[in-house]
Structure 1
């Protein structure tokens, strides 16, 4: 029976054949222990000299790291391992012998590992991070599909920016100026006026020359937009969505979280509702914590977000930022127009902002005023203005950065390990 490591629990006591790579090995006298992987999981194969014969046993002992092979053996339960099963190998066939595999079972520098990212993905921890990422994506589709959202794909090449042109990649679109998308939000607002509740999931690009552990040049965002929803409605959706994703990872990525050494008890506390504090209260909290250099009207940096998060064991919403430091499309608070109806969701444990969202301006006259203030009077933005002209409604939306969310849930320090092939300020290879 040909199967995979992920499916061996179905075949306890039976003989199976699995296509694998040799991750590592060790031998003890007349027994060889093979650490095997097949892409679906990791499993130990036991080769006993008395069962397999002298020649085959010596061949097993000589296998090199990352050699590919077919192994055949009987599946048995193994209560000593977290996986719960091992393979009593009675035969194997070498497919391709790997020679001098670069990433050996020793410490390697980060730059070396990043230069060999195409191979580093094979390691157990990197594999676990990607499986967590995949589960977050799966749970994302599950959440929005279950709750009546329509997926809309926004363009990657755009003729305008969502939040300003200083961090955009410019390119030529035949005879026109174009940009790589920094957000699909504006297009999602148009889609929300057609479908009610929509979401997109795709790559975004920021030409921000930052080297922090929270920043990538190319990253993926989940961006819902919702017609007939105000700011408070949107906050409820956000906390329900994040709770759903965390619960899905806890349920379906037990082995991966264990491989990463992630404390599941920390994640088990992540339940809606999440605490909410105003920007004003956040400023006061930072002052109490000794940040005398932050004044009202300034945006928060990574140290500020980390200090705020330290007071909570759940993600925390910071709401109602000053209008001057937020995007042109955010709706002012009717009772206090110097702040806008927005929120950043800050992850615990120092992982920073994972969601930014707001209620959008739905008044045509106010949006026209914003256009003038931000010099958006060109043709590129006229279609967006028309959304307020023809059947405007209250609407809200948000964007979740996938890689920061993966880093937080998986407990990974740097976002470069949360995307298969990271694009950083100094890296476009491999």
Structure 2
């Protein structure tokens, strides 16, 4: 019977064949212990000299790291293993012998591992991170489907900047100028006017020359937009979504979380509702914590977000930022026009902002005023104005950064480990 590692629980005390690679091995006299992987998981194969042919045992002891093979044996339960099962090996059929595999079971520098990212992905820790990332993606589709959202795909090539910034990748689009998208939000607003509640899930690009552990040049965003939705209603959707993601990982990725030595207790605390503080309160809190140089009207940096998060054991919303540090499309607070109806969701444990969102301006005259203030081209953005011209409604939306969310849930230090092939300021290889 041919199967995979993640299915072996169905074949206890039965003989099966699995296509695997050798992750590592050790031998103890008359027993060889093979650490096997097949893409679905990791499992130990035990080769006992007395139970196999002399050729098979010699073969087992000479196997090199990352050699591919078909391995046959009986599946047995093993309470000592985190996985819970192992194989009592009967025979080995080598497919391809690997020689001089560069990532050996020892410490390697980050740059070396990044140069070999195509191979580093095979390691147990990186495998666990990718499996959790996959679970978060599955949970995202499940959440928005059950909440009545329609998936919409905005364009990646655009003729203008979503937020009027200059941190864009420029390209030629035949005879026109074009840019790689830094957000699908404006297009999602158009889709929300047609379909009510929509979300996108795709790559975004920021030509930001940043080297922090929270930044990538290419990353993935989930961007919902909702018609007939208030600021507070949007915050409720956001916290329910984040709670759903964490619960999904806790339900389906216990083995991977254990591999990463992630604190389950901290993740189990992630229950809505999340605390909310205004930007005003955040500035007061920072000053109390010794950040005396921060003044009202300045944007919050990573150290500030971390300091604020330390006061909470679950994500915290910072709301009502000053108008002049936020995007042109954000709706002013009707009771105070120097702040906007927006919120950043700050993850605990120093992982920073994972969601940014706001109510969008739905008044045509006010949006036209913002165009002038931000020197936006009527030609490039006329279609966006028309959304307010033909049946405008109150609406809100947000964007969640996948890689930062994966980093937080996994408890890994740098977002470069949360995407299969990271694009960084100094890295376009492999």
Within-5 A mapping of 1:24-35: 24-35=24-35
How far off is 1:53 after superposition? Answer: 1.8
Partner of 1:38: 38
Residues in 2 aligned to 1:287 and 1:124: alpha-carbon distance in whole angstroms: 43
Cross-structure match for 1:377 = 377
> 1:265-324: per-residue Cα shift (whole Å, max 9, x none)?
000000000000000000000000000110000000000000000000000000000000
Output the CA distance in 1 between the equivalents of 2:206 and 2:293.
27
**Is 2:402 the partner of 1:420?**
no
Per-residue deviation at 1:214?
A: 0.3
TM norm structure 1 = 1.00
Q: What does 1:203-218 correspond to in 2, within 5 Å?
A: 203-218=203-218
User: How much does 1:165 deviate?
Assistant: 2.9
> Which 5+ residue runs of structure 2 have no aligned equivalent?
none
Corresponding residue pairs, total: 430
Structure 1 residue runs of 4 or more that deviate by more than 4 Å after TM superposition:
none
For residues 59 and 390 of structure 1, the distance between their equivalents in structure 2, rounded to whole angstroms, comes to: 74
Matches within 5 A, 1:1-40: 1-40=1-40
Q: Secondary structure at the match of 1:126?
A: helix
CA distance in 1, matches of 2:377, 2:119: 49
State the partner residue of 1:134.
Answer: 134
Alignment partner of 1:93 is 2:99? no
Match of 1:323 in 2: 323
Counterpart-to-counterpart distance in 2, 1:239 and 1:63: 50
Q: 3-state DSSP class of the match of 2:2? A: coil
- Counterpart-to-counterpart distance in 1, 2:160 and 2:7: 49
Q: Deviations over 1:329-379 (max 9, x none)?
A: 000000001000000000000000000000000001111111111111331
TM-score, length-scaled by structure 2: 1.00
For 1:65-84, list aligned pairs within 5 A: 65-84=65-84
Residue-by-residue CA offset, 1:118-176 (whole Å, 9 max, x unaligned) = 00000000000000100000000000011110000000000111112321111111111
Secondary structure of the 1:27 match is strand
- Asked if 1 retains the 8 angstrom alpha-carbon contact of 2:277 and 2:319, the reply is yes
The answer on 1:311 being equivalent to 2:343 is no
In the alignment, which residue of structure 1 is the partner of 2:269? 269
Residue aligning to 1:149: 149
Task: Indicate the residue corresponding to 1:54 in structure 2.
Answer: 54
Q: Distance in 2 between matches of 1:415 and 1:168?
A: 20
**Local SS of the residue matching 1:354:** strand
Distance, in Å, in 2 between the alignment partners of 1:297 and 1:176 is 38
d(CA) in 1 for partners of 2:211 and 2:82? Answer: 37
SS in 1 for 2:403: helix
Q: 2: distance between equivalents of 1:83 and 1:38?
A: 14
Answer whether contact 2:201 2:223 (CA < 8 A) is retained: yes
1:101 is displaced (CA, Å) by 0.1
2:230–2:395 CA contact under 8 A, matched in 1: yes
- How far apart, in 2, do the equivalents of 1:198 and 1:94 lie? 50
Over the residues paired in the alignment, what is the CA RMSD in angstroms? 0.5
- The offset of 1:55, in angstroms, is 1.6
Answer with 334-343 or 363-372: which moved more: 363-372
* Structure 2 SS opposite 1:129: helix
Provide, for residues 405-427 of structure 1, a one-character-per-residue CA deviation record: whole Å limited to 9, x for no partner.
Answer: 00000000000000000000000
Tell me, in whole angstroms, the C-alpha distance in 1 between the residues paired with 2:165 and 2:339: 23
What's the secondary structure of 1:239's corresponding residue? helix
SS at match of 1:388: helix
Q: Which residues of 2 match residues 268-307 of structure 1 at below 5 A?
A: 268-307=268-307
* Other-structure match for 1:403: 403
- How far apart are the structure 2 equivalents of 1:72 and 1:147? 46
Q: Secondary structure at the match of 2:392?
A: coil
Distance 2:293 2:129 in 1: 37
Describe the SS at the equivalent of 2:3.
coil
Q: Summarize the alignment of residues 240-279 of structure 1 with structure 2, pairs less than 5 Å apart.
A: 240-279=240-279
Identify the residue that residue 388 of structure 2 maps to in structure 1.
388
Tell me whether 369-378 or 396-405 shows the greater mean CA deviation. Answer: 369-378
